[in-house]
Amino acid sequence: MQHGFIKVGAAVPLVSVADPTYNVEQLIALAHRAHEEGAEVTVFPELCITGYTCGDLFTQQTLLQESEAAIARFAEATKVYDTLYIIGAPIYVCGALYNCALVLQQGRILGIVPKCYIPNYGEFNERRWFSTGYNLRMEDNICYAGQSVHIGSYQIFHTGRYAFGVEICEDLWSVTPPSSALALQGAEIIFNLSASDEVTGKHDYLRSLLKQQSARSMAGYVYTSSGYGESTTDLVFAGKAFVAENGAILAEGERFCFDAQLICSEIDLDKLRMERRGNTTFATAQADLYPKATHIHTAPVTERESVLTRHFAQLPFVPQGAELDSHCNEVFNIQSVALAKRLTHIHCSKVVIGISGGLDSTLALLATVRTFDRLQLPRTGIIGVTMPGFGTTDRTYQNALDLMSHLGVSLREISIKDACIQHFKDIEHDIDVHDTTYENSQARERTQLLMDVANRENAIVIGTGDLSELALGWATYNGDHMSMYGMNAGIPKTLVRHLVQWEAEHSYNAEVRSILLDIVNTPISPELIPAKADGTIKQKTEDLVGPYELHDFFIYHFLRSGYRPKKIYYLACLTFEGQYDAAIIKKWLTTFFRRFFQQQFKRSCLPDGPKVGSVSLSPRGDWRMPSDASAASWLAECEAL
């Protein structure tokens, strides 16, 4: 696939215990299917060629010979494919039996990886039959299924575009999983062949373990486990299959299914590599602490045209479902604790906030109210200042007044019209020319008023600008760009809307809720241009700089994932299909990159403010960029879309 995606598969075949002839035909059928679906690497369960529950039959020469013959049959049947397959089989070497994974491509066995950690508990005490491969370091290849093959633990397979490693079942559950060592030595995807029995509660623990290990290793993790057909004499095998990536489950199979299964998804190598490049602890851990891996090079794997099956959220900063509740509450807690620390540190019990009746100032006010309540300070110490100007509409003006009144904060109204008219005269600007000077003069006048009121009241000014505005530079330098503490600096616009709505529905009575929901539904605007004749908003931000849902999508995948413009464009076209056409997405993507680079100087001198999510533009934290960096490469790629 293109754009850094690698399609992988996790297969759960039907099994007949101790019948390699039957089992290999099941594997071949799934191998063909995986190739047709575009999977570049597909993993099968532990000991799938024989079945995991053979017991003492593993010591029988007949079973071992039939297993070897079945592997040869599989190699012959798949030799026309450059797809890679990983299958499990018992292999007898130098007087010991090993539980192994075999990596095959184009009819060749590229390597055999024995299981390192052999469990000695439960109904299947594997140490009764299998030896640990942890210390197996054979200098010479072995002959298996008619081929000369390297066998040894800790192998990394390189395809030319990515590298992967293999571990088996219990290896993942150990204190130091082989996958950790493999990841530190270059493996970007880990494949796990497993035969994990089903007991109550184990499935949830396994999901958590897979998420944790993929996150810790900053890797893709593909897991499959034995399913229907394994012996139920003492245990049940439910046929689990997962594709995980850096802490998230991308795809999951159906447990307790009576049919063979194949799940596929796409591992995002670009994002994984971005994570590893930016995480110095990963590089530090690459010290000589683990067994050295053997590196094996595969034949090139053909990039196949395939439909992207994984889902990318339109609102990547906004969780869905039940998670939204806990997320919103967490954001408000972060904001309130951050402001509480600042106030107690400077021995301050008053703040000043400019209240416009828009989303950002509303969120800052709600978070500040929470803070004052937690500190047991009177809400009257919150001085809300509404500053109507030439573009203020009745709707936002009234909402601002009503909200402050119902919340019990101190309310002040200071018109900026006369001051701005005098200012226009002083600088000889025509008041009828509604240009940048006209707009920014109003923004700076408001900031000056807030700062001076704060000085007079021995208070601090709370900033209201959000992350999306900072990314686009949609702020007046030394106007709304400046404050004494930026409460919303780490919160993107799409999340601001959900936070205000969530607080309305969870924390306030019907009267306040009605005001807040009307604010949520008000078009986003700085209201610096006179309203229409009917009194409605004329200057709509999203008409000028583009839809915030698109820009937040761009921000997330540029800053969090490190994607280049053509990949962001590709994902946006898929994700917003039917909402925005390709030309519109290209237009606003170009706008995003142009403004992001041009406006860095505003972010280079941001006031303090709390980091809330995984993306921050603080010049002291996550994003350190010269103000005069060139956007030429990014804009050239946008132009070529």
Active site residues: 46, 115, 169
- 346: Cα separation from own chain's centroid: 37
The DSSP code sequence of 131-195 is ---TT-B-SS-EEETTEEE-BBSSEEEE-SS-EEEEEETHHHHSSS-HHHHHHHTT--EEEEEE-
The answer to whether 190 touches 219, Cβ cutoff 8 Å, is yes
Give the Cα-Cα-Cα angle 615, 212, 169 (nearest 5 degrees): 150
Please state, in angstroms and rounded to a whole number, the distance separating the CA atoms of residues 155 and 175.
19
Distance CA 252, CA 250 (A): 7
Give the DSSP letter of residue 540. Answer: -
Nearest-angstrom CA–CA distance, 379 and 370: 10
The closest of 133, 19, 21 to 77, measured between CA atoms, is 21
**Unique residue bearing structure tokens 């299959």:** 241
Enter the DSSP assignment of 12.
E
Q: What angle do CA 483, 486, 487 make, to 5 degrees?
A: 140
**Which helix H or strand E contains 59, and what residues bound it?**
none
**In contact, 500 and 516? CB cutoff 8 Å:** yes
Q: Is the dihedral of CA 339, 341, 346, 347 positive or negative?
A: positive
In 408-489, alpha helices (H): 417-426, 436-457, 467-472
